[in-house]
Structure 1
Amino acid sequence: MNEVLEKIQKLGIVPVVVLDDAADAVPLAKALIDGGLPVAEVTFRTAAAEESIRQMAEAYPEMLIGAGTVLTIENVKKAVAAGAKFIVSPGLNPTVVKYCVDNNIPVTPGTTNPSDIEAALEFGLEVVKFFPAEAAGGLNMIKSMAAPYTTMKFMPTGGIGAHNINEYLAFDKIIACGGSWMVKGDLIKAKDFAGITKLTKEAVMTMLGFELGHLGINCADEESATDTARTFANLFGLEEKNGSSSVFAGNMVEAMKAPYLGSNGHLAIKTNNILRAMNYLETQGVQFDMDTAKYKNDKLIAVYMKNEIGGFAIHLLQK
């Protein structure tokens, strides 16, 4: 998968933006960045699209900006010249797709059926848009099409929101979902960019699903760890589970058999997707110690942050 699509996969959500006035482009871009989504698909449905992309790209060169509803090669040329880094179209137009492929422009054309997928494969595409997602059969349709086309991945858009995004993203053939619920037209017209930031932040938190996993307590030795875990287990009706380096009381408390990371111990924070969580937290200035990373079946399942918070080491844990 190319670099742009890999970045989209780490972000998980692509806000689909319709701008009638290019003057709203830069404040909207800032609102998305502040909300934790430095990405936007600016649709070519309006005359302001090209200039909006240009202003966003100039103001925030680190932002991943794409062009949506691209129907012609002329649209592609204008979008790329303005600063778009990827192209999205509602359908699979062979002429447009070929131009993008020939010019090394990342493109995700719209698909709804196996014939579309086969056409995309002929162009060597790895990812396609599935649109309109809910109206065209939703997640069940994507799973059905993914079964015979094992190498293809999807970016569904249409009818996806906070109520169902995690159902889509739980399927490993979906790299991200497009949506407009955090960039509603009435909010843009009202210039309520604070409201857009709030909705964007909520969308990110819904996707990542952070929750406290367990408390880790640093104990002096195995005997102390066993006593600590047993006390918690007896008091709160939890199961005592003895491991190689720690003793658990249910899933709430982990008593370490020797002092480990964190002055006071550690906190495990569970997340729906550890790679997307790391990507988000890195935008907030967090650094990770990859020497602490743990894997299962070659997939990252746990990793510690470099810095403590309140005397506690923090590690992410894949749900």
Structure 2
Amino acid sequence: MDNKVLEQMYSSAIIPVVAIDNSDDAVELGKAFLAAGIKVIEITFRTAAAADAIRKLSESGLDVCTGAGTVLTVEMAQKAVDAGAKFLVSPGFDEKVVGWAVEHDIPMFPGITSPSEIAMAQKYGLKVVKFFPAEAAGGVKMLKALKGPYADMRFVPTGGISAENIGSYMDLPNVVACGGSWICPSKMIREHQFDEITRLSKEAVKNIHDIFLLHLGINAQDAKEAEEITRAYAGLLGVPMHDGASFFAGDMVEVNKTPGKGTHGHIALSVRNIDRAMAYFKSVGYSFDEEHMSADEKGIIAAYFEGEFGGFAIHLRRHL
């Protein structure tokens, strides 16, 4: 398995499932997804334009990992790979197709809905499979149930995924990414509504990470000044004041008793999953201060970005 493919899937978190009628639209579609930080595309073999669309995207120079979906036969698999597909996806488990992909060292994600099919996937050495049709097959509850007996297996849920429910899938540790077509309806592609596809993609990314402002951190020179600043904010906001390692006015304003990171202080952003959020931000060009991270038994709790933003350090914080 090409680890780079999995890394790109994980950082993008959503894999657009595309049915494209005109291969000339492929490159503009790729740019529309890239504008939202999505770097993986599955082009399904449901249209005659699929192979040519994969070829044009693969040869475009765009930083997009392009794969082929609805791969039903070995012949289709060969055609997809010849066109430049970096991975293959099928709706079900066909041993001939899976065997061919494994033999040729092509990342393959066959569709499964049962423990028996997972056992078949394990026989071929697969670590990641497609869970399809996700919502109809039990959705989040089914994936939670499968986590116990198949702790090492990871999934790409597809089918019935939407802006409303993708967040619940992202909460599961055994989910690599979700496949979805709602961000790229064929009609929008035909009508060249690429700006709208970017908007829907950005909305999906927002729902995946569930980013919101957690608190503002202010640097004080000493404990006395910190207490005065906190008391002022507590009065202004009508919230209680808390004293600990630093002062808090409610849960909105933190005041450090000694100067901390950032010229003026820091801004804390809460996210659903730190590891996934870091992977996403790294994929779109941000870097993190590896020396200033905190963790617990569940993984990283908080991570600072490199540098400052308007005089403030910014860190991600796992949802409380």
Normalising by the smaller structure, the TM-score range is over 0.9
SS of residue in 2 equivalent to 1:181: coil
Cα displacement (A) at 1:195: 1.1
Helix, strand or coil at the partner of 1:109: strand
Cα 1:235–1:285 change in 2 (3 A) is same
How far apart are 1:104 and its partner, in Å?
Answer: 1.5
CA distance in 1, matches of 2:7, 2:298: 18
Match of 2:226 in 1: 225
User: Identity of counterpart residues, as a percentage?
Assistant: 47
CA contact (8 A) 2:11 2:283 kept: no
3-state SS of paired residue (1:50):
helix
1:279 aligned partner:
279
Give the deviation of 1:254 after TM superposition: 1.0
Partner amino acid, structure 1, of 2:259: P
- 1:13-28 to structure 2, matched below 5 A, reads 13-28=14-29
Answer with 232-241 or 250-259: which moved more: 232-241
Alignment of 1:283-298 (within 5 A): 283-297=283-297
Deviates more, 1:234-243 or 1:20-29: 234-243
For 2:242, the equivalent position in structure 1 comes to 241
1:201 positional shift: 1.1
Cα deviation, 1:177-203, whole Å, max 9, x if unaligned, reads 100111011101111111111111111
The letter of the residue matching 1:196 is I
Q: Which residue of 2 aligns with 1:57?
A: 58
Aligned residue runs from structure 1 range 75-224, under 5 A: 75-224=76-225
SS of the equivalent of 1:92 reads coil
**Matches of 1:113 and 1:280, distance apart in 2:** 30
Whether the 8 Å CA contact 1:73–1:96 is kept in 2: the answer is yes
Whole-angstrom distance in 2 between the partners of 1:168 and 1:282: 22
User: Deviations along 1:199-246, whole A, 9 cap, x unmatched?
Assistant: 1111111212111110101000122223322443355343433333x2
Cα gap change, 1:145/1:282 in structure 2, threshold over 3 Å: closer, same or farther?
closer
Q: Specify the alignment match of 2:307 in structure 1.
A: 307
The aligned amino acid for 2:303 is: V
Segment of structure 1 superposing worse, 86-95 or 267-276 = 267-276
Residues 113 and 287 of structure 1, relative CA distance in 2, 3 Å threshold: same
* Structure 1 letter corresponding to 2:182: W
Say which SS state the counterpart of residue 150 (structure 2) adopts.
coil
- Partner Cα distance (2:127, 2:75) in 1: 24
For structure 1, the 5+ residue unaligned runs are none
1:38-89 deviation digits (Å, cap 9, x = unpaired)? 1100111111111101100111352111111111112222212222111111
- Cα distance in 2, alignment partners of residues 241 and 148 from structure 1: 45
Mapped contact 1:90–1:131 kept (Cα < 8 A): yes
Q: Could you tell me which amino acid in structure 2 is paired with residue 120 of structure 1?
A: A
2:6 counterpart SS class: helix
Residue type matched to 2:191 in 1? Answer: A
Post-superposition offset of 1:120: 0.8
Residue type at the aligned position of 1:307: G
Is contact 2:292-2:304 (8 Å) kept?
A: yes
Residues 1:128 and 1:285: Cα distance change in structure 2 (over 3 Å): closer
5+ residue gaps, structure 2, are none
User: TM-score scaled to structure 2, two decimals?
Assistant: 0.94
Moved more, 180-189 or 248-257: 248-257
- Structure-1 separation of matches of 2:276 and 2:141: 24
Q: Match for residue 32 of structure 1?
A: 33
**Which amino acid is 1:265 matched to?**
G
Question: How far apart in 2 are the matches of 1:142 and 1:278?
Answer: 24
